[in-house]
Amino acid sequence: MNLESLPKYFSPKTAMFSDSPAATATDSYSITDVMASLGWASAQARMGIELFLAKQGINKPDEAVESLYHYALTQVHKHAAISKLDEDIKGEVLQILANYAFQDYARSAASKKPCSELHCEDGFITVRKFSTKFGTSEGTSVKSLGLKPTRVVTSMRELEETCRVLCQVCKGKTTVSHSCRCNGRGQVLDEKQTKLIGIPTYKTCPKCSGRGYFRLPAEDVRRAICDSVIEISQPTWSRNFKPFYESLIEECFTEEALADSVLSKITKREINFT
């Protein structure tokens, strides 16, 4: 069993009333087996288990971010520009880096974020519209010439109306998907090669580099640090802070891979649990 199979064991199942016997296959796992294996795996790869469960929305991300923060404390000595900061400032900076690193790690093509439009409420935007209303009356008609009665403008006034229009950012959904234009596939049609060869040919999506979703902009992390802790210029961020931030994201995926490997070994049938 791998990590991808874990979420289904945390979802409630509907009771089935049937006279058919329960499955007795040797490759089936009970919830007790899974929870015992998960506890054993957590003892060897706790950080990876916490990160994955928080990524799937099973656990709150507080513990995962805290574990990532403590890992950052053990690695900050490798980056002189950060380690030389005052203890209070360094702690706040590392907390922000750990928080944003987890957010970037937890992103996927299926994940969503709140609508970025400031005035969006429930998928709609309240706007003011101005319109001109004309009052008309029926003019005199010339029956002898066979003309129809005409309308004559007698009054005109300006009206201001408040109405709700559909938000063009989220299209009324209140959330925006992180998926790329490739719809999470990571590949797009190569029109040039398709015309040349005559059959559909695909290439890696240049927008997302094959991930299927957009990463969290690193500039957002720098701005968060500047707004709440300390001012950091763009060159300083790119040279001294961003490499450490990227290493935290890589560590998240490394720990998840380790947890997956440990869980797979534990749940093999030939392993004796006694």
Length of the chain: 274
Q: How confident is residue 8, by pLDDT bands cut at 50, 70 and 90?
A: confident
> Domains of the chain (ranges plus CATH)?
3-7+28-107+215-266 (1.10.274.110), 113-177 (no CATH), 180-208 (no CATH)
Question: Phi-psi bin for 113: left (phi > 0), alpha (psi -120 to 50), beta?
Answer: beta
Average pLDDT in the 56-82 region? Answer: 91
Greater confidence (138 vs 248) lies with 248
- More reliable by pLDDT, 257 or 184: 257
pLDDT at 271: 45
pLDDT > 70 in the chain, percent: 84
More confident residue, 11 or 192: 192
Q: What does the pLDDT look like over 165-224, one tens digit per residue? A: 888 888 888 888 888 888 888 888 888 888 898 888 898 888 888 888 888 889 999 999
Mean pLDDT of the chain: 82
DSSP strand E in the chain: where? 112-114, 120-121, 124-138, 151-166, 175-177, 187-189, 202-204
Nearest to 98 by CA among 130, 79, 75: 75
- What pTM did the predictor assign? 0.73
